[in-house]
Structure 1
Amino acid sequence: MSRRRIIISGASSGLGAEMARRFAAMDRDLGLCARRLDRLEDLRDRLRAEGARGEIAVRALDVTDHEAVGTVFGELRDEIGGLDRVIVNAGLGKGASLGTGRADANLATIRTNLLGGLSQIEVALEHFRAGGDGHLVLVSSISADRGLPGAMAAYSASKAGMSALGEGLSVELAGTGIAVTTLLPGFIATEMAGRAGGRSMATLDDGVDAMMAAIEAERSRVALPGFRWRVTDMALRYLPLGVTARMIPRR
């Protein structure tokens, strides 16, 4: 099934921007939102210069503002002529060990990744339920599989919440016209990821190749890219904590 009209949050850089490039090359109609409007406008201009023939609408959006999410998604939907798919991608990766005086960073990560994600889900599903059709894509993380220590604690908790929402919605909406996909990327080279994955970090191209394939196939839950991250996903979910603790990066 071709989902032609797509909203992508967090589209100003990284995974969101690269997914936008891939969909634009497929002549999909795109509604792109992020906090940095200047980057979105630059991306829109580049996509048009590269030959994109679909509509490309951009809006500034802070996903922690629930009312703004509803307004911006509505404006983007109207500008691109409807809505078939929403990719909940906006996120933060900052954080600090709990109790070390950086509650601001940890709270910002939870608000953006989990509460902001929930706001987007609410708005998207309200539209999809009204029409009886649509595709909701949640960009979670392999870090959702286990609680992570140190600076990753709040981030892994926020992504665990997103994965739980995706799993619950997949069950609830099975057999309806609304599909739900939860993506669990491993370490992919993006601006936000920095050097977290070291040698195990996948290239942006490989990461987004796998994400695009899973999205277009409307798979329910996918750890990616490649076999390595599928095995890691299984290990983190099912092996004893004493074993998986040695697999978990610390920073």
Structure 2
Amino acid sequence: MAQKRCAASLTAVSDPTGNGFSGWKHVTLHFLRVHMDATYREIVDWASEMDRVRGLLQLSRTAFPAPSTLYRSFERVPMSMWRGFLRESADICEPGSHGAIDATFFDRETASRHYQHRSDRHIYTLKTTVLVDTDSCAILDVHCSTHWPHDTKTGRRVALRKTEKIESLAGDKGYDDQFLRDALRSEGVRPLLRHRLFAAYDHAHNARLDSDLYGQRWMAESAFLGIKRRFGPAVHPRAWYREFRELVLTAAVYNLEQAFKQ
């Protein structure tokens, strides 16, 4: 998957001078790094001792890239490529036709409070919105932000990007947005978004929701719980754009692990 995606990309993942390793080898090591919950130095040391990894990457024990080289290559991989990996990993899980949308927060930790104040970092959490397939619990799409936009704003971006993958979408009352409902219906997706209670007819709207399909909204929370238990509740990079890439990569690794369990 990494080799095919990197070959089709116009962006050079490896050293731009042409003296580095193939881009798909860098991407494979990044997937392995997240899977093994390792640092850049640890994954280079561990992978160089694994016979199957050396055979897959076609590298000798002493030919692995330096940790700093692997660190810089993570920046060169564009977000579009990581999203491509996320889409392919979700397809491997054979998703169904019903989706659920929800949001959670990840801590921006690893740096001390002293460093955060000295570097003028005032945002300590990232808001992450995901679209989850309720049949396989695979993550179909991820949206990250440091500014905590309202759910109705992020819901439009996430849900409308994947209308070809789902036939119905469940969400809590935070996604109560008539524009989103109309947009989903125009794309052939049945909206199962709970109404906020402002008047008596809002109770009637909620009573008409399909309770079986809407009840599967908890699968999104289950995906959040699985990721935070498996990979931790915090992102480790310090730059925001690296944090966004790390979360998308983590979601792709989570999908692959779910597919292997099946």
Same fold (TM over 0.5): no
Point out which structure has higher relative CO (alpha carbons under 8 A, 6+ apart): 2
User: TM-score, normalised on structure 2?
Assistant: 0.24
User: TM-score, normalised on structure 1?
Assistant: 0.25
